[in-house]
């Protein structure tokens, strides 16, 4: 004879009749003592509730999106920094410098400032060569391969000169690219010449071809 199955419902009698109620399903937690059972030792006890995979995936998506946004901002900042850097070779290509002619003489700037403004002048001062134009404007000379003669050849510094070149933006610094002299009111070509190689140059050093000496030539244009 099979045992009677327990019903999910129970009946209750009141004045109006029978009322049928559904029994609540009994839930029992596993006793904590069961955790001391040898079969649990060294193993993980899983949560009775399944993980919320949607919440986990949503959180991972937000973290991934945040990391991508931070990386994008960093790349934009790096690109902005690089764009602000101007390489020396590209400076002239971005800003066309106007070529000008300055007429005047080479002067020692400390001595000139002492004479004009009374600035203290040390006895053993170093020469800082500049250019004083006919209207009294002073320029600092940029020392380059083309302007080297202005710094080393006293013969050239004694002459009245016409310097062709550029005044660098926002400065009083002059970059010379060519020069001529003025003798007795006549503009003359001024250059160094090698008799052996028949080469003209603005450089006072040895000839670029034979490495022999060169001489300073002041010649009226033909």
- pLDDT tens by residue, 40-97: 455 555 555 555 565 666 667 677 767 777 777 777 667 655 554 545 555 555 458 8
- Element containing residue 59 per DSSP (H, E): helix 53-84
Q: Is residue 21 part of a domain?
A: no
Longest CA–CA separation in the chain, Å: 145
Residue 18: pLDDT over 70: no
Q: Looking at residue 40, what is its pLDDT?
A: 47
Q: Is residue 164 part of a domain?
A: yes
Within 8 A by CB and 6+ apart from 101, the residues are: 162, 163, 164
Q: Is residue 182 part of a domain?
A: yes
Q: Is residue 194 part of a domain?
A: yes
- Alpha-carbon distance of 46 to 173, in angstroms, equals 80
Q: Looking at residue 94, what is its pLDDT?
A: 43
Please write down the HEC assignment for all residues of 142-179.
CCCCCCHHHHHCHHHHCCEEEEEEEECCCCCEEEEEEE
Domain that holds residue 198: 99-219
Q: Is residue 133 part of a domain?
A: yes
Q: Domain count of the chain?
A: 1
pTM of the model: 0.57
What would the pLDDT profile of 102-153 be if each residue is shown by its tens digit? 999 999 999 999 999 999 999 889 999 999 999 999 999 999 999 999 999 9
For residue 37, the number of C-alpha atoms closer than 13 Å in the C-beta half-sphere is: 11
Q: Is residue 152 part of a domain?
A: yes
Q: Is residue 213 part of a domain?
A: yes
Q: Looking at residue 108, what is its pLDDT?
A: 97
Residue 186: pLDDT over 60: yes
Give the number of other Cβ atoms within 10 Å of residue 147's Cβ: 21
Q: Is residue 159 part of a domain?
A: yes
């Amino acid at each position: 004879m099979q045992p009677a199955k327990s019903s999910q419902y129970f009946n209750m009698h009141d004045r109006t009749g029978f009322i049928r109620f559904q029994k609540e399903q009994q839930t029992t937690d596993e006793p904590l003592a069961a955790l001391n059972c040898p079969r649990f030792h060294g193993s993980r006890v899983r949560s009775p509730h399944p993980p919320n995979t949607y919440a986990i995936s949503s959180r991972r998506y937000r973290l991934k999106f945040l990391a991508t946004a931070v990386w994008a901002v960093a790349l934009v900042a790096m690109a902005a920094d690089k764009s602000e850097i101007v390489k020396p070779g590209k400076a002239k290509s971005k800003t066309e410098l106007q070529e000008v002619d300055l007429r005047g003489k080479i002067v020692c700037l400390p001595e000139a400032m002492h004479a004009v403004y009374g600035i203290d002048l040390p006895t053993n001062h170093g020469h800082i060569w500049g250019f004083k134009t006919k209207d009294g404007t002073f320029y600092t000379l940029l020392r380059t391969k083309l302007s080297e003669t202005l710094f080393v050849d006293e013969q050239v510094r004694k002459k009245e000169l016409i310097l062709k070149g550029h005044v660098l933006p926002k400065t009083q610094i002059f970059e010379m690219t060519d020069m001529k002299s003025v003798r007795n009111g006549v503009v003359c070509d001024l250059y160094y010449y090698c008799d052996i190689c028949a080469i003209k140059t603005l450089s006072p050093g040895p000839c670029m071809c034979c490495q022999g000496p060169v001489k300073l030539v002041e010649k009226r244009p033909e």
